[in-house]
Chains A and B, each alone.
Chain A
Amino acid sequence: MNPYWEYVRAGYILVWVVLGAYSVSLTARRREASRGSGGPVPRGGAGG
């Protein structure tokens, strides 16, 4: 096999994994951000 394919494969895997991971992190943060937003919230450090 062409040795260059290893680099190409690594690059494509990286793109898909990072974009996937970012999507997952958005979901997790969305869940965290909306949790308890309806009721009274204790004022904690912002931005965390």
Chain B
Amino acid sequence: MRHAVMVGTGVVGLVLLALGHGLGLFWAPTDKMMGDVQRMMYAHVPTAWTALVAYLISFVACVGYLFFGDWTWDLVAEAAAEVGLVFNGLLLATGMIWGRPTWGVYWTWDPRLTTAGVLFLLYGGYLALRRFVDDPERRASLAAVVGILAFADAPIVYFSVRWWRGLHQIQSTPKTVDPEMVLCLRLSAFAMLFLMVHFVLRRVQIGRARLDRELAPPPAAAAGWGGPR
């Protein structure tokens, strides 16, 4: 059953992504204002939504771990954070590639782009922390705390950067009025959502295998802690 879901989400995601991107590149009408470079949207915008959903899943899992203390919450939190980081990295990279021809610069202090950059660092820190704590239970608690703090920061960063840039900033996203464009965007967004779920499931599986290994030798739990470091 679980295997079927994993394969299913992967296949559906891949097909939808090929469809959405293919139609977006060769079928959707050219944007009147921005020209062909607007086609970047079908690759760029869905990564933003997907990364945010992945981080939200990770946040919920962090809270869940602190409340219920079940390992699965911790594994999901870790997996979703890592997958979110991958999509976040893609978001930053495609944003820069898009920014260069439209604004003439790779990076602007657009509130959304900046928030994405800060989130990338925050979750990079979250994953880095996980690598340095050997005891699984301690790692899970500490990581859950860090994950909650990191996610809570996102809206504050967004609004602070918006104020910082001045409140009268023009939004830079092209208007998607054509139904063809909306369709391509939606296809790509659902594709990445499916792929995200697929990756998270696979990453959870890896985490579980590693955890089983860590928890396997019985004396480890007793001997691992207590002595001065």
Contacts and interface: CB of A to CB of B under 8 A. Distances in A.
Given A26-B199, A47-B134, A7 B205 contact: no
A19 B21 CA distance: 14
B175 interface: no
B98 A34 contact: no
A5 to B, nearest CB: 6
Contacts, number: 87
Interface of B: 21, 25, 35-37, 39-40, 43-44, 47, 86, 89-90, 93-94, 97-98, 100-101, 130-134, 136, 139, 195, 199, 202-203, 205-206, 209-210, 212-214, 216-217, 220
Contacts of B216: 37, 40-41
Given A8-B36, A19-B195, A26-B199, 18 more contacts: A3-B101, A7-B37, A8-B39, A8-B40, A10-B97, A11-B44, A11-B93, A12-B21, A12-B25, A18-B86, A18-B93, A22-B86, A26-B202, A37-B213, A43-B217, A46-B214, A47-B210, A48-B131
Interface in A5-46: 5, 7-8, 10-12, 14-15, 18-19, 22-23, 26, 29-30, 33-34, 37, 40-41, 43, 45-46
Given A37-B209, A41-B216, A8 B93 contact: no
A22 B98 CA distance: 23
Q: How large is the interface on A (under 10, 10 to 19, 20 to 34, 35 or more residues)?
A: 20 to 34
Given A2-B35, A43-B217, A15 B134 contact: no
Given A4-B35, A7-B37, A10-B97, A34 B86 contact: no
B130 A18 contact: no
Given A7-B100, A12-B25, A22-B199, A34 B134 contact: no
B209 A15 contact: no
B36 A5 contact: yes
A48 to B, nearest CB: 8
A20 to B, nearest CB: 10
26 contacts: A7-B40, A8-B25, A8-B36, A8-B39, A10-B97, A11-B43, A11-B94, A12-B43, A14-B90, A14-B97, A15-B90, A18-B90, A19-B86, A19-B195, A22-B86, A22-B199, A23-B199, A30-B202, A33-B209, A33-B210, A40-B216, A41-B216, A45-B134, A46-B136, A47-B133, A48-B131
